[in-house]
């Protein structure tokens, strides 16, 4: 990571802003190491040794209550902070690599098939088609909502109408576009995980702790 940063900004700038860059990179690396260390050195060995009977046992003991509570609290604290950094890294990777691949790969992929250039700007009521064939008035309301009737797949190729001389362009640009779309998919999955952790994991962990406490103090032998 340090070598990549030095190659991007240059040795002179790296020396001048070295402490700031080193501090930022160290912070990112520590967050990622915390997650790896927590699961590889704490969670997995404990599960291998004791199984998962402590999660929601039929008879709650002090050991199972403490193990479940510490696991819920530690997981929440670690994941809430770490998923943010992972999301930032994935988002910047998609911005620097995925977006250009989708833009250029999709452009040449469509041009090789003689598809029209389509550029839409805005969203909702303010959505406007800058380039491309006009939207039929009967479909305009659905189009502003992001719904297009009879829209072909972005990967569909009409091989009968494509010249064999353009096959290499289609394969090459399609591969580049696939890299960009894969990056976009990874970014969306990471954002979904980050949203779940930040919004719902705390609630789930709090509810789990409440259930464990009630089971331990009030209904230790429930249901038997």
Contact call for residues 136 and 142 (beta carbons, < 8 A) = no
What is the model's pLDDT at position 14? 63
pLDDT mean across residues, the chain: 79
Q: Please report, for the chain, how many H helices and E strands are present, in that order.
A: 9, 2
Highest mean pLDDT among 54-68, 124-138, 147-161: 54-68
For residues 141, 147, 152, 153, the Cα torsion angle rounded to the nearest 10 degrees is: 160
| Residue 22 clears pLDDT 80, i.e. is over it | no
Predicted TM-score of the model (pTM): 0.67
Own/partner long-range contacts of 173-179 (Cβ < 8 Å, ≥24 apart): 173/104, 173/105, 173/106, 173/107, 173/108, 173/109, 173/112, 174/105, 174/109, 175/105, 176/101, 176/104, 176/105, 176/108, 177/101, 177/102, 177/105, 177/106, 177/109, 178/105, 179/97, 179/98, 179/101, 179/105
What is the model's pLDDT at position 182? 94
Q: How far is CA 65 from the centre of its chain?
A: 33
Do you find a cis peptide bond into 223, omega within 30 degrees of 0? yes
What is the model's pLDDT at position 162? 77
What is the model's pLDDT at position 2? 58
Contact call for residues 141 and 84 (beta carbons, < 8 A) = no
| Residue 7 clears pLDDT 80, i.e. is over it | no
Which of the four pLDDT bands, split at 50, 70 and 90, describes residue 6?
low
**Is residue 157 in some structural domain?**
no
Which of the four pLDDT bands, split at 50, 70 and 90, describes residue 81?
confident
What is the model's pLDDT at position 224? 47
**Is residue 131 in some structural domain?**
no
Q: Which residue has the higher pLDDT, 123 or 100?
A: 100
122: which 2 tokens? 């805005």
**Is residue 38 in some structural domain?**
yes
| Residue 3 clears pLDDT 80, i.e. is over it | no
**Is residue 67 in some structural domain?**
yes
| Residue 221 clears pLDDT 80, i.e. is over it | no
**Is residue 198 in some structural domain?**
yes
| Residue 68 clears pLDDT 70, i.e. is over it | yes
Q: Rounded to whole angstroms, how far apart are CA atoms 8 and 66?
A: 48
Q: Which residue has the higher pLDDT, 125 or 90?
A: 90
Own/partner long-range contacts of 33-39 (Cβ < 8 Å, ≥24 apart): 34/78, 34/82, 35/78, 35/79, 35/82, 38/74, 38/75, 38/78
Which of the four pLDDT bands, split at 50, 70 and 90, describes residue 183?
very high
Range of the domain at 95: 32-52+60-113+173-224
**Is residue 104 in some structural domain?**
yes
Highest mean pLDDT among 115-119, 191-195, 217-221: 191-195
Which of the four pLDDT bands, split at 50, 70 and 90, describes residue 70?
confident
**Is residue 17 in some structural domain?**
no
216: which 2 tokens? 């331990």
| H or E element in which residue 120 lies | strand 119-121
Considering its fold, how many domains does the chain have in total? 1
pLDDT, one tens digit per residue, over 113-137 is 877 777 666 666 667 666 667 776 7
| Residue 147 clears pLDDT 80, i.e. is over it | no
Which of the four pLDDT bands, split at 50, 70 and 90, describes residue 50?
confident
**Is residue 70 in some structural domain?**
yes
């Amino acid at each position: 990571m340090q070598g990549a940063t030095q190659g991007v900004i240059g040795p002179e700038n790296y020396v001048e802003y070295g402490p700031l860059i080193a501090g930022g990179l160290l912070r990112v690396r520590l967050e990622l190491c915390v997650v790896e260390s927590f699961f590889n050195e704490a969670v997995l060995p404990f599960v291998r040794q004791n199984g998962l009977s402590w999660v929601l046992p039929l008879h709650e003991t002090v050991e199972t209550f403490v193990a479940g509570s510490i696991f819920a609290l530690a997981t929440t604290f670690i994941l809430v902070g770490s998923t943010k950094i992972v999301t930032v890294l994935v988002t910047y990777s998609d911005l620097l690599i995925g977006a250009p691949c989708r833009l250029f790969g999709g452009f040449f992929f469509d041009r090789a098939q003689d598809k029209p250039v389509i550029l839409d700007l805005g969203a909702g009521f303010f959505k406007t088609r800058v380039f491309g064939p006009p939207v039929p008035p009967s479909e305009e309301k659905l189009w502003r909502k992001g719904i297009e009737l009879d829209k072909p797949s972005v990967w569909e190729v009409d091989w009968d109408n494509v010249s064999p001389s353009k096959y290499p362009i289609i394969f090459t640009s399609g591969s580049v576009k696939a890299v960009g779309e894969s990056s976009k998919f990874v970014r969306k999955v990471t954002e979904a995980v980050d949203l779940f952790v930040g919004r719902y994991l705390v609630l789930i962990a709090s509810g789990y702790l409440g259930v464990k406490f009630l089971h331990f103090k009030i209904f230790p032998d429930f249901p038997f």
